[in-house]
Structure 1
Amino acid sequence: MRPARPGVRATNAAAVLAAIRREGPLSRAAIGEHTALSMPTVSRQVAVLIELGLLREFPELVPVGAIGRPRVPIHLDDTRYAACGVHIGVSTITYGLADLRGTLLDSEEIPTPSGSAEDVLAHIAGKVRAFLRRWSRRRVLGIGLATGGLVDAERGLLDHDRLGWHRVPAADLLRRATGHPVHLDGHVAAMANAELLFGWGPRVSSLLYFYAREVVGVALSVDGKLHRGPGGGGSVAHLPIGGDTRCPCGATGCLEATVADRTVAERAVRDGVVAEPDIRLVRQAARAGEPRAEQLLADRATALGRAVGLLRDAFNPDRVVLGGQAITDQAERLPDLLRAYSATTTLPGADIVSVTRFGATLQATAACTGLLNRLFDNPLDLLETAKVSTTDDKHARKAPTR
């Protein structure tokens, strides 16, 4: 039985963290009720997690006048550790830092530089190192790296046709350049994980996450776990939704080619709406009352709504969550999307669609959350990998954080 103990210990630690993350603050007795662990086991795990700095007691939350032995609430300690995240997009790179409750502490954006994968990742590493120096009082657990393309998370390899990257050891390159452990994941999976941990995930048994910006993607979770098929996630880029936009695959009416930022912006240039193929200019023109700009964005919202309806019928989840700037940055077009969705779905109970609460912080938060997900699944392993000390002096514990 001895070889199984580390696994049991890690599982119990993760169970305690999960209960507190979802329901906290909780007393030790309440943790036992939520996890079905014995009180001695709960007490041991809480003691270890407090010593590690992941949890702390909140005696100020004990109800005034409570009868009997006070049950001191326990909650996440969000003052010591942080997870860094880097999102690599086709046109923009976003990096940020989040605490254990998924709150984004800070983030920055830079244009995606041209050049080889090695040069781009070295450039990112330099920016991230400078960024983290401003947060020296935080103990950084590592870096979550999220991006589009074909991701081999287990080996840390990335294929990204839009960037011209093929079998790039992205995780290892960034790890060596920053000195931090790096967890690579697909960006839609990372965004869905953010929703699972800090959004709708704890409230439903199945969730379909739909993302649209420059690329489109979906992720399905069941009982709090993302479905990952062979080779990673699936693709809805070529979902046929109708229309005359030609896709690089040779067909017309593919979802991604129809709704991508670049498609809408380029069409606006051809129609004389804007001078440059920039989706931000198209949105500005629409808000200024330019009819053709309004129509282009309405058409995209309608196409997105049809896609959401088709996918909802295919997967039949408890909840559909929409994310990505193609949706959140044009909230005034949401009624167009929802009308098309309602007209397309054939299943009863269509009122299950929500927009993510992360908004413009989505990319940075999602990248950070990929690492937090690993922490919550196996806190002891990640802290050891990150070579973070399990003890600290009183001054560091009480030091103010940014």
Structure 2
Amino acid sequence: MSIQARVLQLIRQQHEISQAELRFQTGLSASAISGAVRRVQSLGLIHEVGSLQEALGRPRTLLSLNADYAYTVGIQLDVQQSHIVLSNLRGKVVHKAQLSHAGLIPAQIAEDVAHFISEVSGHRIVGIGLAVSGIIDAERGVCLDSATTVGWQNVPIGPVVAERTGIATSVENDANALALAEMLFGEARHDRSFIVVTLGKGIGAGIIIDRKLYRGRTGVAGEIGHLSVSSAASYRCSCGKTDCLEATASSRAIACALSERLGVPVPPEHLRETLQNEPDVAQDILGHAGTRLGAVLAVLATVFDPDALYVAPEQSLHLPAFQQAVTTAFQSGVLPLCRAGTNLRFLAESEDMWARGAASVAIERFFGTAVQA
């Protein structure tokens, strides 16, 4: 990484920082830091935002990212409802909408994205990010398999959108995208290594090691939903198994178990309401699912030894009974040495968090190429 890139990275991580602090954190000379700052400042990526007066000496000029230098577009693709946002370089959503497509047809998605961009034409857009549940070839921008969410196989959605819009387009697994957003702008800003576990119709994990996203050799890293965790369940996962985590703890599996216990179908849109209206049944089902998930989280904490584990459940499962079951199983399953160092936290779902995560993927790509020398 070049000196300019290191300096820009540190400025991005801090709200405000002086050149003296940059020298302290990098160990570089004053001339090297000032030269790098001038270079990045000449590109318009940072600016001076005031000064810090200490007890002795001259005031120190504070530097900050010019968050409105450019913007990125983030899209969350989902069968039921897809969101699209415009974000500045600090991840602040300044405009949002829903995609109008009736079906997940790549060419139509590209048209919808182009239409959204025309609506925000006054902003300089430097990248587009798409978040899709499933296995993604991020290098080529291809969705290899998304049976759970959009039903795609080998769909080159990235190139399709890039060709229509003329803007560099990145595609990422939705859990990975959310992990990037949390690292850059959210709860994990100060963590070196952490894991975000997403829980909905499917279950996945975004793994950050030493502040770098870990995808594995083929993009399969983080597919924890297909780990075998129990005896066969009634719900069959999209992978074909009935004993994996998704067959036990996903919202679809929980809805299936609830339907069996109550003797009536429970539509996904009524899952939270039904769980709240049937506390005794819900306690049993959520306890079973939460125990299985907590055990897997304990394994992740033991294997990766991260600073923190974050669980991002969809709104229907953001319930105290479920969180308690997950937490209890995690604490009893993790090694005592890990228990002291790995924090377990739950993230509250917001309407645009997934699209914001997609925008974060485009932001990372932009900064990866913004300062080359």
**Shorter-chain TM-score category?**
0.7 to 0.9
Could you tell me which residue of structure 2 aligns to residue 368 of structure 1? 359
The answer to whether the 8 A contact 1:82-1:99 is kept is yes
- Shift in CA distance, 336/236, structure 1 to aligned 2, threshold 3 Å: same
Structure 2 counterpart of 1:122, one-letter code: A
So what's the TM-score if we normalise by structure 1? 0.80
**Following TM superposition, by how much is the alpha carbon of 1:23 offset from its aligned partner in structure 2, in angstroms?**
2.9
Q: Separation in 2 of the partners of 1:356 and 1:136?
A: 37
The answer to whether the 8 A contact 1:273-1:292 is kept is no
Structure 2 counterpart of 1:277, one-letter code: P
**Following TM superposition, by how much is the alpha carbon of 1:58 offset from its aligned partner in structure 2, in angstroms?**
0.9
Could you tell me which residue of structure 2 aligns to residue 19 of structure 1? 10
Structure 2 counterpart of 1:281, one-letter code: H
Could you tell me which residue of structure 2 aligns to residue 393 of structure 1? none
Structure 2 counterpart of 1:53, one-letter code: G
Q: SS at 2:337's partner residue?
A: coil
Q: SS at 2:122's partner residue?
A: coil
Q: SS at 1:144's partner residue?
A: strand
The answer to whether the 8 A contact 1:92-1:111 is kept is no
What does the per-residue CA deviation read over 1:75-125, in whole Å, with 9 as the maximum and x for residues that have no partner?
01123322211122354322212222222334334587436xxxx223323
What does the per-residue CA deviation read over 1:211-268, in whole Å, with 9 as the maximum and x for residues that have no partner?
2212112233322122232112322232122143244555432011222222222333
Alignment of 1:30-41 (within 5 A): 30-41=21-32
**Following TM superposition, by how much is the alpha carbon of 1:349 offset from its aligned partner in structure 2, in angstroms?**
4.2
2:170 to 148, 171, 183: 183
Could you tell me which residue of structure 1 aligns to residue 33 of structure 2? 42
- Shift in CA distance, 108/282, structure 1 to aligned 2, threshold 3 Å: same
Q: Separation in 1 of the partners of 2:346 and 2:91?
A: 14
What does the per-residue CA deviation read over 1:351-373, in whole Å, with 9 as the maximum and x for residues that have no partner?
52333556324311211111122
- Shift in CA distance, 111/92, structure 1 to aligned 2, threshold 3 Å: farther
Q: Separation in 2 of the partners of 1:114 and 1:223?
A: 39
Q: Separation in 2 of the partners of 1:273 and 1:49?
A: 64
Could you tell me which residue of structure 2 aligns to residue 76 of structure 1? 65
**Following TM superposition, by how much is the alpha carbon of 1:274 offset from its aligned partner in structure 2, in angstroms?**
6.1
- Shift in CA distance, 27/315, structure 1 to aligned 2, threshold 3 Å: closer
Q: SS at 2:306's partner residue?
A: coil
Q: Structure 1: 5+ residue runs without aligned partners?
A: 1-7, 382-402
- Shift in CA distance, 276/191, structure 1 to aligned 2, threshold 3 Å: same
Q: Separation in 2 of the partners of 1:209 and 1:332?
A: 20
Name which of structure 1's ranges 85-94 and 304-313 shifts more when overlaid on structure 2: 85-94
**Following TM superposition, by how much is the alpha carbon of 1:291 offset from its aligned partner in structure 2, in angstroms?**
3.2
Q: Separation in 2 of the partners of 1:69 and 1:148?
A: 52
Q: Separation in 1 of the partners of 2:15 and 2:201?
A: 37
The answer to whether the 8 A contact 1:83-1:140 is kept is yes
The answer to whether the 8 A contact 1:191-1:367 is kept is yes
Q: Structure 2: 5+ residue runs without aligned partners?
A: none
- Shift in CA distance, 53/328, structure 1 to aligned 2, threshold 3 Å: farther
Q: Separation in 2 of the partners of 1:275 and 1:184?
A: 35
Q: Separation in 2 of the partners of 1:326 and 1:340?
A: 21
Percent of matched pairs sharing the same residue? 27
Cα RMSD after superposing both structures = 2.9
Structure 2 counterpart of 1:148, one-letter code: S
Q: Separation in 1 of the partners of 2:71 and 2:339?
A: 38
**Following TM superposition, by how much is the alpha carbon of 1:317 offset from its aligned partner in structure 2, in angstroms?**
2.4
Q: SS at 1:359's partner residue?
A: coil
Structure 2 counterpart of 1:126, one-letter code: E
Could you tell me which residue of structure 1 aligns to residue 90 of structure 2? 101
Q: Separation in 2 of the partners of 1:132 and 1:87?
A: 15
